[in-house]
Structure 1
Amino acid sequence: MGKAAKAQSSSSSAATEQDQNTLLTGLIETLKEQNRLQGEQMRAIFQNNNHSSTHNNQEGGQAPAYKQFMTFKPAEFKGSSDPIVSEEWVQAMETIFELMQISEVERVRCTTFMLRDDARIWWQGAKAALDLNNISWEEFKEVFYGKYFTLSTRNKLAQEFLEIKQGDSSIADYVKRFERGKYFAPMVTGNASMELNRFLEGLNATIRMNVRFSNPSSIRETIDRALMVEKDRQRCQRSPKSNIR
């Protein structure tokens, strides 16, 4: 009886150990499966985030667009009574956007982020009448110009350009005023012949006559010739007069 009990006990222990091994093996396999599933989930999440980031970059997502925009160190706009200042600020924004591939809406968001003080207060009221989710850049400029660069002001500047004269200024200064003013008269600057003629008409008579003799074919040639004539005149004025015996 003792031997039978021992044999039964030994058999029972072996069965228990086998059951424990089977259970342990099952737990290990279960953990492996869980780890595998977690790994697949993590890869799926990573791929989804990576896809979203790429999609945002391609479509002009807000965060990537803003970060890229700020690397250009755009100027703030606080409002100005000088329409030229307002126009130059808008042109500066457009220069930045030429280097960025972003949507029209993102252009407006980036630009309005740079508004400060009075301009910021104005925008808080103006944007209430706009669809900010679908606004175009041209629509924003129309609203902006309505406040800071009115049509009457643009017409006035266009008229001033059509009447621009060199006067007592140097050719270099006249060219600066001409280049700045022609932006407001697209009917002239859109035609090379009209632009050249407007520049010539604004020159002082003596310089204009000499420039016409050279028969320039472009505005660049006209400016270069005018500068040469001015330089020759200045040289003659500085040289001592010959004594007449």
Structure 2
Amino acid sequence: MNPEDFYDNTDPFVAEVWIRSLEVIFRYMDMADADRVRGTIYLLKGDASLWWEEAEQGVNLATSTWKGFKRVFYDKYFRSDVCSRLKREFISLRQGDFAVVEFVQKFDRDCHFVPLISKDVAENLRHFLDGLRPTIRQDVMLVDPTDYTTVVARSY
């Protein structure tokens, strides 16, 4: 496994993909919380390393958890204004001129930022269906779908 270094990036999706890629490694290697934090700090380079040097002043590494590190990391890379914008974009997401595959990709990526919808299976399904073009939604509804996988497959 060769985790990538993180140099600092203002795109919240780049930061999120990086964190998720580390979490896959951590789960596979069954790493303890403290090792996760230390390993992640090692991968911070350039401006991200400089940011951590400042942020670490308020963190006790002896008791730091992965969840705590992510909170500090997300405070930096997912500012509240960015999260608010992403939530608004998701709430107003419609298929429009997107191909179904593009709409599914955008829906799956963006729903992460609206946990009240993404964690509620029925609400997630309703929101996806509402975003589909009416002609596609009508065809999907003919099979009375009950889960997201079925809806996506039928949408294609």
Equivalent residue in structure 2 for 1:143, among 46, 65, 72: 72
User: For residue 149 of structure 1, what is the amino acid of its counterpart?
Assistant: F
Q: What does residue 4 of structure 2 align with?
A: 75
If you compute each CA radius of gyration, which structure gives the higher value, 1 or 2? 1
Relative contact order higher in (CA < 8 Å, ≥ 6 apart) = 2
Partner of 1:207: 136
* Residues matched between the structures, number: 156
**Residues 63-110 of structure 1, C-alpha deviations (whole Å, 9 max, x = no match):** xxxxxxxxx100110000111111111111111111122321111000
1:218 aligns with 2:147: yes
- Counterpart residue identity of residue 33, structure 2: E
Matching of residues 164-183 of structure 1 within 5 Å: 164-183=93-112
**Aligned match of 1:158:** 87
CA shift digits 1:125-165 (9 cap, x unpaired): 11122111110111111111111112331222122111111
Runs of 4+ in 1 over 4 A off after TM superposition: none
The match for 1:120 is 49
Q: Which amino acid aligns with 1:170?
A: A
- Tell me the C-alpha RMSD between the 2 structures: 1.1
Q: Cα distance, 1:112 vs. partner?
A: 0.8
**In 2, Cα distance between the equivalents of 1:140 and 1:91?**
13
Give the AA of the match of 2:139. Answer: N
1:75 alignment partner, SS class? coil
Distance of 1:159 and 1:92 partners within structure 2: 26
Which runs of 5 or more structure 2 residues have no equivalent in the other structure? none
| Pair 1:193-2:125 in alignment | no
SS of the equivalent of 2:75 reads helix
Higher helix proportion: 1
Task: Give the aligned partner of residue 42 of structure 1.
Answer: none
Question: What is the TM-score with the length of structure 1 in the denominator?
Answer: 0.62
